[in-house]
């Protein structure tokens, strides 16, 4: 293999490798080790603690699916909270919705936002929208201090290690429920159905105890472990499977469509089986 390669150890037994054109930036922030690299295969990539967070070529699968599913589940979303997501990709998708009046981005690490603005402008561009407020604080604390505030809460967090651990807990989900308005919708990225099935099962069970509607949906994200990714949704009133598509806004997307929204909730038998396992 010619050239310089970056490998992410996705599990102790599996790596993904990409050839680097260039390392554009590297620093230790107060929270994590951050790098932006340029790769031949996936374009520019944001790495945190040597884990691929997002890439210019495949970010839209993830950002469109984490944002438009809850936004279209709610018939009139006006306020949205994003926890994590400092690259701006989720915010960019949210501000495509004309009903949105205010987006609050709560990112713990200001350096993620600064580097995304500098090196990943096509992902960070939505952060400049006038409706967006950026707060550099812990999303766990933010949600603990809010009540009846948001129509939509989206958790676009790192894997459940370090500062993100608490974002995967039942206590956090109860606080999310309280921070949502009476008909609010919650979505979180919840890892790989292939490598994190027990985590996904536990989260689904927690959400079913807290929300009247709890569902799992899937998408493909080529650079994440296993290539197949899970999102967990909790809703107080609206069912994501009963969207009135005649009322949904027309937004420009590259992956998401109403048909893909519906299809994403069709779970393969291997997923059904681990969700139902004792």
In the shown chain, the binding pattern of residues 166 to 205 toward ligand AAT, with x for contact by CB under 6 A and - for none, equals -x---------------------x----------------
Q: Which listed range, 73-81, 97-105, 162-170, 252-260, lies at the site for ligand AAT (CB under 6 A)? A: 162-170
158 binds ligand AAT per the rule CB under 6 A: yes
The bridge status of strand 79-84 relative to strand 102-106 is parallel
- Cα atoms found within 13 Å of the Cα of residue 40, Cβ hemisphere only: 10
Residue (79 or 115) nearer to ligand AAT, CB: 115
Give whichever of 50 and 272 is closer to ligand AAT, judged by the CB atom: 50
* Residue among 109, 156, 159, 206 flagged as catalytic: 156
User: Which residues, 61 to 90, sit near ligand AAT by CB under 6 A?
Assistant: 83-87, 89
Window contacting ligand AAT (CB under 6 A); options: 47-55, 206-214, 233-241, 254-262: 47-55
Q: Considering the rule CB under 6 A, would residue 58 count as an interface residue with ligand AAT?
A: no
Number of residues that bind ligand AAT (CB under 6 A): 28
Distance CA 272, CA 256 (A): 23
Interaction of residue 107 with ligand AAT, rule CB under 6 A: yes
| 121 contacts ligand AAT (rule: CB under 6 A) | no
How far apart are the C-alpha atoms of 264 and 220, rounded to whole Å?
A: 10
Binding of residue 140 to ligand AAT (CB under 6 A): yes
**Site residues (CB under 6 A) for ligand AAT, limited to 2-31:** 31
Residues 219-238 that bind ligand AAT (CB under 6 A): 224
Instruction: Pick the piece of the chain touching ligand AAT (CB under 6 A) from 137-145, 230-238, 240-248, 262-270.
Output: 137-145
Least separation in angstroms between CB 237 and ligand AAT? 26
156 is catalytic: yes
CA 109/CA 208 separation, integer angstroms: 31
Q: Which is nearer to ligand AAT, 175 or 189 (CB)?
A: 189
CA dihedral (70, 74, 75, 76) positive or negative: negative
Q: How far is the CB of 142 from ligand AAT (least distance, A)?
A: 8
Q: Which is nearer to ligand AAT, 63 or 238 (CB)?
A: 63
DSSP the chain: --SEEEEEEEETTEEEEEEEEEEEEEEE-SS-EEEEEEETTTEEEEEETTEEEEETTTHHHHHHHHHHHHHHHSSS--EEEEEE-TTSHHHHHHTTSTT--EEEEE-S-HHHHHHHHHH-HHHHGGGGSTTEEEE-S-HHHHHHT--S-EEEEEEE---SSGGGGGGGSHHHHHHHHHHEEEEEEEEEE---TTT-HHHHHHHHHHHHHH-SEEEEEEEE-TTSTTSEEEEEEEESS--GGG--TTTS-----SS--HHHHHHHT---HHHHHHHH--
Catalytic residue numbers, as ranges: 156
Give contact residues for ligand AAT (rule: CB under 6 A).
31, 48, 51, 53-54, 83-87, 89, 106-109, 112, 138-140, 156-159, 163-164, 167, 189, 224
């Amino acid at each position: 293999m010619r050239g310089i390669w970056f490998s992410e150890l996705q599990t102790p037994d599996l790596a993904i490798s990409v050839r680097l054109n260039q390392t554009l930036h590297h620093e230790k922030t107060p929270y994590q080790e951050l790098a932006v690299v340029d790769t031949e295969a996936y374009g520019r990539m944001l790495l945190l603690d040597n884990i691929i967070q997002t890439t210019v070529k495949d970010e839209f699968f993830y950002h469109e699916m984490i944002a438009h599913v809850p936004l279209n589940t709610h018939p009139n979303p006006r306020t949205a909270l994003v926890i994590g997501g400092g690259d701006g990709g989720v915010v960019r998708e949210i501000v495509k919705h004309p009903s949105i009046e205010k987006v609050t981005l709560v990112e713990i690490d200001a350096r993620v936002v600064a580097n995304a603005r500098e090196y990943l402008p096509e992902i960070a561009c939505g952060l400049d929208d006038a409706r967006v407020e950026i707060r550099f604080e812990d999303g766990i604390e933010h949600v603990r201090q809010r009540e009846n505030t948001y129509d939509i809460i989206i958790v676009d967090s790192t894997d459940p290690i370090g500062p993100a651990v608490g974002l995967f807990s039942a206590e956090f989900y109860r606080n999310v429920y309280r921070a949502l308005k009476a008909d609010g919708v919650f979505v979180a990225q919840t890892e790989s159905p292939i490598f994190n099935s027990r985590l996904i099962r536990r989260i689904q069970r927690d959400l079913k105890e807290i929300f009247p509607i709890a569902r799992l949906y899937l998408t493909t994200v080529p650079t994440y472990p296993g290539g197949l990714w899970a999102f967990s949704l909790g809703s107080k009133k609206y069912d994501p499977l009963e969207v009135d598509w005649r009322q949904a806004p027309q937004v420009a997307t590259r992956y998401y469509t109403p048909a893909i929204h519906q299809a994403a909730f069709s779970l393969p038998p291997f997923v059904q089986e681990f969700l139902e396992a004792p």
